[in-house]
Structure formats: C-alpha cells, structure tokens
Amino acid sequence: MDFEDLHVHAKELEFIKSFIQITFHMFEDGAVFFATDLTEVTYKHTENFDFPGLDVGNQFSKSGLAAKIIQAGHPMQFEIPREVYGKRVCALGGPVWNDTDSDIIGSWAMGSPREHKIVQAFDTFAPVLADMLPEGGILCLSTKDKYAKRQGSKKFDIPSIQVNTPVREGSSQEQVFKQKKLVTEEVDESVYGVPVLSATAPFFDDKTGAVLGGFTVALPRKLAKDLKAIANTLDQGLTGVSASIQQITVATNEASSNQSNLHEEIGKVKGQLDNINNVMRFIKEIADETKMLGLNASIEAARVGDAGRGFGVVAEEIRKLSEESKKTVVQIKELTQQIEKSINMTADASQSTLAVTEETSAAVQEVNATIEEMTSLANKLTETAANL
C-alpha cells in the first residue's frame, strides 16, 4: 500500500500516540507529533524539538500542515525550510477518518529536523577548528540568502557576520548555489576592514542532490598583504640598487681601463727617460772629448806663438762651451732624476690604484650577484605571500 493510500481512524490514532511515546527517544535530533480535529490541536508530544505556537487547545493555522492535510484529503510529505523553525524539517501527516471512511474528522502529523551531518557537527568542530588556524578565522554555514551558523576565533572574527545576517550579493556564499562547487573569493579590506580570503564549499541533500547550503572558511589576509607589500618594496629597492650597481660597474670598468692605460703610458715615459739619460751620457762624453781637444788646441797655439793666438782664443771658447755643456748635463741629470723619482712614485700609485680598481670591480660583481640572489628571494617571497 502506498503512503498516500493510508487511512488512519480515530481508534488507530490512539495506538499511534502510544507508539510515538515509546519510540520518540530514538530520534537523535528530536521530533514532534500532533493530532487535531477540524479546528484545533487535540494532542501533542515532543522530544527535543517542537513546532512553536502549536499547542493543545489552540486553533491551528489555516496555512499550516493540518489545514493542508485536511484540504488535500490524503497523506502528505513536507520539506520545511530552515527559515521557518531555524532548522530544516521533514514532516509527514494525513487525515483522520471516521470509522466508516466517509468523513475526515481531523489530522495527524509528525516532524523531525533533517540536518546535514556538517550542520549537526558544526557546534562541535567549529570552535576547535577556528582556533587551530594560525591567524585565526571565522567558520560559517549559510543558506541561499542568510547565515545559519557562525563561529569566530580568538585571533580573528568578523562581528558584522551574525546568524540571520543576509549574505553579501555576489559573495562566495551566494555563488556556491549557482556553481555547485567550491568557490573562493578575495574580499577587499573595504568590506570587513581587513582583506579576507573566503572559501565556500557546498553541501548537498542526500536524497535530491540539491544544494542545501554552504560551509565557509574565511581567513584574514593582512599578514599576506603585508608580506606582499614588503616583498614589492624590497623588489623595487633592489631593482634601483641593481641599476646603480650596474652604473658603478660600468664606471669602475672604465676607470680600470683608463688606469691600465695610464700605467702603460707611465711605463713608456720611464723608457723615454732612460733614453734621455743615455743621450746625456753621450753628450757628457762628447763634452769631455771636446774639452780635451780644446786643451790640446791651446797647447799647440801657445807653442806656435803669435801665429796661433787666434786659434788659442777659439780653443778657449771651446773649453768654456765644454764646461757649460757638462754643467748643463749635470743639471739635466738632476732634473731627470727628480722626474724619474716622481714617475716611479706615480707608477707605484698607479699600480696601487689599478689593483684597488680591479678589487673594486670584483667586489661590485659580488655585490651584484648578491643583489640578484636577493631579488630572486624577493620574487619567491611575493609568490609565497600570494599563496598564503
């Protein structure tokens, strides 16, 4: 016999009442049973659940279960949404017939919460899970248009989200009913005062497969945002430093090249100075020989008497010129010695500068390599912040 063909009479209703009293404790989430005549409630039994306002002696609502059953004239099943009693309720009931099955004299109905397992367990696991999150978080259960349960943490909470608060338009809580899959959302800090990552997963009716609601985990993103900002600032700073280091590298390489050329030119000058010294030695030798020739000429001039007097004057001038040449050579030698000393000092300084420049260039290359490594780490930090 189908459920819709079931006929309950007044005498059978008494048996049902007794049976209900014995078995109702088996309903883990509670249950309620009631019976009516054609206008008011005549009997009611509850176990950890109730239909508020439906009390014995009160008239039942013209739009309620009893009225619908009496009007239909046959047993019915009902899915009562959460908005009515704060829980999803599965109810069934039927008319009560007189003994001849000719007239309906009342109705009977029973209802029991039909919560999804995640809803049943929420109050148990949510407080523990919320405080296990490193930065804290808020856990929520939502229907299509409002929040049904919520649990904040000690470290983080969103006070504006409360039970019966409407879900935000376009939010992951709303979208999960349309997409029927996990929906993640980056919520700007203008909404809740801090940036938030919200992830909402749907849960389904075991029988119909319809989306019953969404389970949301919302996490603060302030640390990730701060890390990303630090990484970006670090990256920008390192980029600027890297550009400056590149300029320094170019300048250092150019200075090193110039210094190397200078050192080479100083070596050439020292070589020319050696040539000058060789020329001066040659001049000195000529001067000595010239002096000797002048002396010999003077002796010959004196020997021949008046006939060699003019030649003696020339010989004397030659000796004087030889003496002046020797003095000049001595002076030039002193000057070249001073120049050589200065050149040697300059060469030493040039060599030292060249060594320092080369060391600086090597150090700059090491710094540049370190900056490249730090830039890579900054990029990894940015990626890590984005994945938090």
Specify whether 140 is located in the same domain as 277.
no
pLDDT band at 223 (very low <50, low <70, confident <90, very high): low
Mean pLDDT, rounded, of the chain = 83
Specify whether 296 is located in the same domain as 246.
yes
Are 164 and 141 in contact by the 8 Å Cβ rule? The answer is: no
Specify whether 274 is located in the same domain as 374.
yes
Handedness of CA 352, 357, 363, 366 (dihedral sign): negative
Taking residue 379's Cβ as centre, other Cβ atoms within 10 Å add up to 14
What is the domain-level CATH number for residue 202?
3.30.450.40
Specify whether 360 is located in the same domain as 244.
yes
pLDDT of res. 202: 96
Residue 387 has pLDDT above 70, yes or no: no
Specify whether 193 is located in the same domain as 342.
no
pLDDT of res. 36: 96
pLDDT digits (tens, 9 = 90+) for 134-155: 889 999 999 989 999 999 999 9
Specify whether 203 is located in the same domain as 312.
no
Specify whether 140 is located in the same domain as 164.
yes
Structural domain harbouring 245:
226-387
What is the domain-level CATH number for residue 233?
1.10.287.950
pLDDT band at 274 (very low <50, low <70, confident <90, very high): confident
pLDDT of res. 32: 95
Q: Which of 220, 238, 258 is the last residue of a domain?
A: 220
Are 67 and 76 in contact by the 8 Å Cβ rule? The answer is: no
Specify whether 144 is located in the same domain as 157.
yes
Specify whether 123 is located in the same domain as 264.
no
More confident residue, 373 or 154: 154
What b/e readout covers 265-284, taking b as 16+ CB neighbours within 10 angstroms? ebeeeeeebeeeeeebeeeb
* 187-192 average pLDDT score: 90
pLDDT of res. 115: 84
**pTM score:** 0.54
* 376-387 average pLDDT score: 67
pLDDT band at 199 (very low <50, low <70, confident <90, very high): very high
What distance in Å separates the CA atoms of residue 204 and residue 192, rounded to the nearest whole number? 29
Residue 104 has pLDDT above 70, yes or no: yes
Specify whether 279 is located in the same domain as 321.
yes
pLDDT of res. 310: 66
**DSSP code for 169:** T
Specify whether 162 is located in the same domain as 110.
no
Lowest mean pLDDT among 70-74, 205-209, 359-363: 359-363
Lowest mean pLDDT among 56-70, 118-132, 186-200, 237-251: 237-251
Q: Which of 220, 255, 276 is the last residue of a domain?
A: 220
Specify whether 242 is located in the same domain as 149.
no
Q: Which of 93, 114, 135 is the last residue of a domain?
A: 114
pLDDT digits (tens, 9 = 90+) for 287-329: 677 767 767 767 776 776 666 666 666 667 777 776 777 677 7
More confident residue, 327 or 95: 95
How many domains is the chain partitioned into structurally?
3
Which two structure tokens, joined as six digits, stand for 39?
Answer: 């206008």
More confident residue, 303 or 221: 221
pLDDT of res. 75: 95
pLDDT of res. 206: 82
